[in-house]
Amino acid sequence: MRQVIIPQQLADLPRELPSGNIVALSGQTMGTTWSVRYINLPGLPKVAVASAIETALDQVVQQMSTWLQGSVINQFNHAEPGTVLPVPWEFSAVLSKALAVASQTDGCFDPTVGTLVDLWGFGPQQGRELPPAPESVEAALLDSGWKKLQFDPVRSELKQSGRLTLDFSGIAKGFGVDQVAAALRQSGLQHYLVEVGGEFYGYGVKPDGQPWWVALERTPDAAMLDEYIVAAHGLGLATSGDYRRYFEHEGRHYAHTINPATGWPVAEAPVSVSVLASSCMEADAFATALTVMGLERGLAFARTHELAALFTVHAQDELVQRASPRLQEMLQ
């Protein structure tokens, strides 16, 4: 069965339809792929749009990729204790949002879990086949904790207070989507759909008046579940799933989302959590946080904070879906 999600801001669409053609572009970034569809404008070459997109994405990688030696995030991670590092405004914006979500979620989202991510083999040094020793996890926990960060957002300065290791993998891709959308707007485009690694931001409509329809991601074994499609106008969409990066050992599934409170991959995590928000960066961060919380706590949080979220979870021997009240309000 298909469920249709219509956000409130769809009523704000201009009455005059765009008259150009749909142009499609694609490429690779952040270890995944990107794609953009937009309604072209006279005198705006496709090569110029592609260049603006790639510049925006390359900037995110240069600042926030732990895989890139010399990135801003790695400069901080490898800095000597006491080092004060000036950071670009983009990095500052992402860290500010990460810390805000960390505070809202009581640390279920934590940008300082880099040491734990590396320990479990989900960082640049990949390839674990068995869990690390519990004492190693406890030691890594001591080098984590968002409240230990010394960050001055006014000066855009970050101090390495010890051995903290930042990891933006739960928020940077969403920010990249938002940055591409911003680059398209600066180019004069008013109707577009941006996707990076399965995360989206859309604005406007197509020439036939149809919105940019996006399907909420489903797991490979969830074909029998309802399909949720959203009219993506002024809306970011991100999905966190335990089926993307994981390893199995002695019958247990260890997925890439780390519980910052325990230092271990989230136990009995939802199969996936999709979140709709005004920015893809926010959707990205909250999808990770709700995954850490789990179904009941996550639904309660989504209800209190009016988050539009869809949980897919195991219930006995089958998969079930649970939508937050805010998402249910959008269903048509």
Instruction: Give one DSSP letter per residue of 233-275, joined into a string.
Output: SSEEEEEEETTSSEEEETTEEEES-B-TTTSSBPTT--SEEEE
Answer whether 286's CB lies under 8 Å from 109's CB.
yes
- pLDDT number for residue 246: 57
Specify if 36 maps to a domain: no
Does residue 222 share a domain with residue 144?
no
Domain total of the chain: 2
Q: What is the radius of gyration, based on Cα positions, of the chain?
A: 20
- pLDDT number for residue 248: 61
Q: Could you tell me the pLDDT band of residue 316, with boundaries at 50, 70 and 90?
A: confident
Least confident of 61-70, 95-104, 127-136, 308-317: 127-136
Residue position matching structure tokens 């993307």:
244
Task: List Cβ neighbours of 261 (8 Å cut-off, separation of 6 or more).
Answer: 107, 108
Does residue 150 share a domain with residue 209?
no
Least confident of 84-98, 112-126, 229-243: 112-126
Main-chain phi, psi angles of 105, to 5 degrees: -100, 15
Does residue 204 share a domain with residue 139?
no
Per DSSP, 13 falls in state: S
Specify if 172 maps to a domain: no
* CATH number (domain holding residue 103): 1.10.3980.10
Specify if 233 maps to a domain: yes
Does residue 83 share a domain with residue 18?
no
Task: List Cβ neighbours of 284 (8 Å cut-off, separation of 6 or more).
Answer: 170, 171, 173, 174, 175, 199, 236, 238, 275
Q: Which two tokens stand for residue 119?
A: 């320990």
Main-chain phi, psi angles of 101, to 5 degrees: -70, -35
* CATH number (domain holding residue 7): 3.10.520.10
Sign, Cα dihedral of 56, 62, 68, 73: negative
How confident is the model over 25-37, as a mean pLDDT?
A: 96
Whether residue 247 has pLDDT greater than 70: no
End-to-end CA separation in angstroms for the chain? 13
Does residue 309 share a domain with residue 204?
yes
Specify if 187 maps to a domain: no
Q: Could you tell me the pLDDT band of residue 90, with boundaries at 50, 70 and 90?
A: very high
Whether residue 53 has pLDDT greater than 70: yes
Does residue 148 share a domain with residue 210?
no
Domain that holds residue 211: 2-28+198-330
Does residue 309 share a domain with residue 212?
yes
